[in-house]
Amino acid sequence: MNKVLVTGADGFIGSHLTEALVRLGYSVRAFTLYNSFNSWGWLDHCADDVKGKFEVFSGDIRDPNGVKEAMRGCDEVLHLAALIAIPYSYHSPDTYVDTNVKGTLNVLQAARELGVRRIVHTSTSEVYGTARFVPITEAHPLQGQSPYSATKIAADQLAYSFYASFGLPVVIARPFNTYGPRQSARAVIPTIITQVANGHREIKLGAISPTRDFNFVSDTASGFIAALRSDAGLGEVVNFGSNFEISVGDTVKLIGEAMGVDVDVLTDEVRMRPENSEVQRLWADNSKARDLFGWQPVYAGREGFKRGLAETATWFAQPDNLRAYKADIYNV
């Protein structure tokens, strides 16, 4: 199998993707954020059958030399490293430019210099902003409704520009709202589950009317791998979503059912996005992923979403996992 560099491998999606690649027989180099604790993020808690079977390179995506050294000897790159918390982007936009835009530029420059065979660059459904039509196809206009989404639009355009200008073999994967075990509490589903698991029956949330297309993490990981293994899709943007739309409020009800409790929502003003920044509606058209890569979500539709929520809630409810989250503090 080819050697694959996974940037952001210490994060939520990246750690699941690293595990999936190892199980498929890939040689994996996991790029993790350097820190003095020698922590590999979620890779410190990876499954037993994967431990010790991947290489770790600690560095910083904002450092071009480190990125190039991490990539040296790799055939393919899955680029996931990014800052993703939308509220944090309101008061620290410079950091998002440095990480999401300049970090992506570092990956593209290194891949071009080293002759990497294929790069899958990670986008986000947030670049669409509030849907102007549904389901959202890849032809939907881009709307930077937060500094986070604006930097991801810029990163996506940089990735495409390297394909158009230099023939760099880039695929732009655009996952919709991924959820599952290990997700940060800055996301809505872990926010709900951790509050309920800690005994709260009145939980604090921001807006509950917006709709989302939630994609279980194993489906997102399989989408990246499908994009990696295919010869198709160069220079293309491809949605990875479940093609199922549900409101945050109805998601609360389904989580309550999965956890066997009745839950009421208290609106917490600090969790509300500015009016023009809130993305009101997301719903993915995933037909291009099916046609190009043969990818389809396993956790599809309402029943698939309920199954994914049950698995997610079970993971978070385990005491060792729950202790890693501060459910009483708003995670920006």
Q: What is the pLDDT of residue 327?
A: 87
Q: What is the pLDDT of residue 303?
A: 98
Question: Does 196 map to a domain?
Answer: no
Question: Does 274 map to a domain?
Answer: no
Question: Does 273 map to a domain?
Answer: no
Q: Which amino acid is at 84?
A: I
Q: What is the pLDDT of residue 160?
A: 98
Q: What is the pLDDT of residue 332?
A: 87
Strand-pair category, 246-247 with 211-212: antiparallel
| Stated pTM of the model | 0.97
Spatial neighbors of 30 by CB under 8 A, at least 6 apart, are: 6, 9, 10, 14, 18, 40, 43, 54, 55, 56, 57
**Total tally of structural domains belonging to the chain:** 1
Question: Does 228 map to a domain?
Answer: yes
Residue 33, domain CATH:
3.40.50.720
**Bridge partners, 54 (sequence order):** none
Which regions in the chain score pLDDT beneath 70? none
Range of the domain at 234: 3-180+214-240
Strand-pair category, 3-7 with 76-79: parallel
Question: Does 249 map to a domain?
Answer: no
- What pLDDT digit, counting tens, does each position of 197-212 carry? 999 999 999 999 999 9
**CA trace torsion 239, 214, 183, 86 (10° rounding):** 70
